[in-house]
Chains A and B, each alone.
Chain A
Amino acid sequence: MLEVSGINKRFGGVAALSEVSFSCNRDEMIGLIGPNGAGKSTLVNVLSGFLCADSGSLAVNGRVVARCDPIAAVRAGIARTFQTSRLFGDMTVRQNVEVAHSRCMELRPAEGVGVDPEILIDECGLTALSGLPAATLAYGNQRLLEIARSMALAPAFLLLDEPAAGLNDAETALLARRIIAIREQHGCGIVVIDHDLSFINTLCERLVVMDHGRVIASGPPETIWSDPRVIEVYVGQTPPTETQQATIQ
């Protein structure tokens, strides 16, 4: 169980996260959605120890995870990917995954022994490319490699920040199937962020909607899409605020 409670984070005057709370079961796949600048990536950064929250706490399976410490997050079983893929470009596909697994064997040896980098690479359909430098892969394969690398940490919870960004429809569909297959094999909780709502809908049983740093709704898709606050955010009756405009990339 991943339990996020009462997280606050301000950047200067902007409240990027206010009182964010939600939880995710180990067998659950949650969709985290919301407009640009809602605070989704900031939340991932806080949960993975990249950023220090001003207040709030995070617990995995009842154990509190030390704040602002990426190593503690990995040790607790939290793995993450990035909104724009970040690979070890000159290293081969295989080495990218092996590096992660070597660290897993140091931080989570009990979980790590059950993980085989070669099998992960295969599950992501990258076996034929495993000797190539990661930087030479097609974009879709780079996103898959990032997921394979995160899975080599034997995570209990995987945070995917816009894994389908920049992919075409066919690639997105394949990515969704691979994510489902990997989860069936390895069984970890997944929090997936994306703007592609049909991608999110194929994957997730439950959605958490954020806007302006707050969780405005959460629940199964049917109830979410009939929630007036969500409709307001998504149909866009209110004009975007200045901060939102500033973060549109």
Chain B
Amino acid sequence: MADSSFASAPLGAPAPVSATAPAARGRRRMLRALVGGLVVALPVLVIALGIDLLAPGHYRHMASIAMINLMIVLGLQVYMGNSGIVHLGHSAFVGLGAYGVAILATPVAMKALSIPDAPLGLAQVQLHPLGAALAALAVVGVIALLTGLIIARLSGVAATIVSLAFLIVCHGMFLNWPALFKGNQAFFGIPREIGFWGVAAAAAGTVVLARLFRESRTGMQLRASAQDMQAARALGLDVTRLRRRAWILSALICGGAGVMFAYLTGTISPRAFYFQQVFLTLAMLILGGMATVTGAVLGTLLLSVGLEVIRRAESGLDLGFVALPQMLGLSGVALGIVIVLGMALRPQGLAGRLELDEYIATTLRRGRSTAAPGTAQGEREK
């Protein structure tokens, strides 16, 4: 971009009297973030509506799972996208949320069969689903607060390794404490409280929440620290505290996704919250672009659809003119290829640096400035 104004900008010209005070501008920025979040959430709701009206029934379940994955990816984006630190432990929080409501909301009669020896008399407890969800999130919040005390002090690889260790510890706990978590077996009988539209609303709400966080004071400062840590220190930013806040919000979102998952499917098992989920959601975020909420949505959408297509091809596909043979294991390979290609061609992810609404605004502005040449100044580069 030609940038010739350095020498030519007027010097000592009177500063324009700013129409709005910085505080008012801050409020406007959050309002813009809210609108931007709604713009990004809109496609989610439109797709949900399309599936609800047009697609055969079993697509609704698939789409529900995809939207829960979207929540997890958004939770991941809140921490990883803003702090720039790779996070591999987020599925632990998904599991904690899911097991939390499983233990608290499952009917006592059911628990007499599945976890009769639960500690603290939990086998005799049955909370209202909403109360159970809040209690589960409170547990997630406390655990996030405690783990955040450690992990927020760490940078780069060290933080990533600790997040991975946390995943393994939680998985070990689910597996090896059968009195509470039922071990390797499925935990069944969780009330199925949430339907397709409940999940869709939660996913859309999470999109907006993640976007509000991104543009908030904390989010902006955290993103700045990810760009240049020394410059962040020079501004007196408290990077540890910023990371801790993002870590906790991220955990709560992932925990919320776990709650949704448990209430949607009614059955959970530890395997669902382990490496496979970690890598799938990580791939979604990286493919879409972790810097933006738009990237999280885009990556989830593309990989969800892509993997479903591949899954069908795996079990043999009749295209009418040619019938493809059964190809087991294709989805794993294809997932790998997509990630490698995506990273090679667009390392910052498909969405890049701009959110959907920013991209639209930039395109409109560019269109306007080509209509009236000579006014194209100060617009974004891409």
- Residues in chain A within 8 A of chain B (CB atoms): 48, 50, 70-71, 73-75, 79-82, 86-92, 95-96, 98-103, 106-107, 115-119, 122-123, 125-133, 136-138, 140-141, 144, 149-150, 153, 170-171, 174, 177-178, 181
Contacts and interface: CB of A to CB of B under 8 A. Distances in A.
B370 interface: no
Given A86-B230, A90-B353, A117-B22, A125 B5 contact: yes
Interface string B1-12: 101011101111
Contact of A177 (B11, B15, B234, B377): B11
A34 B163 CA distance: 47
A6 to B, nearest CB: 24
A119 B21 CA distance: 11
A128 B238 contact: no
Interface in B220-250: 220-221, 223-224, 227-228, 230-231, 233-238
B231 A128 contact: no
B235 A100 contact: yes
A127 B238 contact: no
Contacts of A89: 227-228
A48 B231 CA distance: 12
B236 A86 contact: no
Please tell me the size bucket of the interface on B. 35 or more
A100 B230 CA distance: 13
B381 interface: yes
18 contacts: A50-B233, A73-B236, A82-B230, A87-B231, A91-B224, A95-B224, A125-B6, A127-B378, A128-B5, A129-B5, A129-B378, A133-B353, A136-B1, A136-B381, A141-B5, A170-B7, A174-B7, A178-B11
A72 to B, nearest CB: 8
Contact of B381 (A86, A91, A132, A140): A132
A103 B224 CA distance: 12
Q: What 3 pairs between A and B have smallest CB-CB spacing? A: A74-B236, A125-B9, A88-B227
Contacts of B74: none
B293 interface: no
B71 to A, nearest CB: 26
Contacts of A133: 353, 380-381
B3 A141 contact: yes
B380 A171 contact: no
B27 interface: no
Contacts of A136: 1, 3, 381
Contacts of B10: 125
B16 interface: yes
A131 B380 CA distance: 6
A131 B235 CA distance: 21
B217 interface: yes
B238 A118 contact: no
Contact of A171 (B6, B234, B377): B6
B235 A74 contact: yes
Contacts of A123: 15
A125 B1 CA distance: 17
A90 B22 contact: no
Interface of B: 1, 3, 5-7, 9-12, 15-16, 18, 21-22, 25-26, 217, 220-221, 223-224, 227-228, 230-231, 233-238, 291, 353, 377-381
A74 B233 CA distance: 9
Nearest to B17: A119
Given A74-B235, A141-B6, A90 B11 contact: no
Contact of B11 (A102, A126, A170, A181): A181
B228 A88 contact: yes
A128 B235 contact: no
B220 A98 contact: yes
Contacts of B377: 128-129
Nearest to A89: B227
A48 B378 CA distance: 33
A102 B230 contact: no
A2 B238 CA distance: 24
B231 A82 contact: yes
Contact of A82 (B21, B26, B227, B234): B234
Contact of A122 (B16, B25, B220): B16
A90 B231 CA distance: 13
Contacts of B380: 92, 131-133
A90 B227 contact: yes
Contact of A80 (B25, B217, B224, B234): B234
A70 B233 contact: yes
A177 B13 CA distance: 13
A75 B224 CA distance: 19
Contacts of A107: 236
Contacts of B235: 74, 99-100, 103, 149, 153
Given A116-B22, A138-B3, A171-B6, A88 B236 contact: no
B107 to A, nearest CB: 49
Contacts of A126: 9
Given A50-B233, A177-B11, A103 B221 contact: yes
A174 B236 contact: no
A103 B236 contact: yes
Given A80-B234, A132-B380, A177-B11, 17 more contacts: A50-B230, A50-B234, A70-B233, A79-B234, A86-B234, A87-B231, A88-B223, A102-B220, A103-B221, A122-B15, A128-B9, A129-B378, A131-B380, A132-B3, A137-B3, A150-B234, A170-B7
A133 B16 CA distance: 23
B234 A70 contact: yes
A90 B82 CA distance: 12
B5 A132 contact: no
Contacts of A140: 6
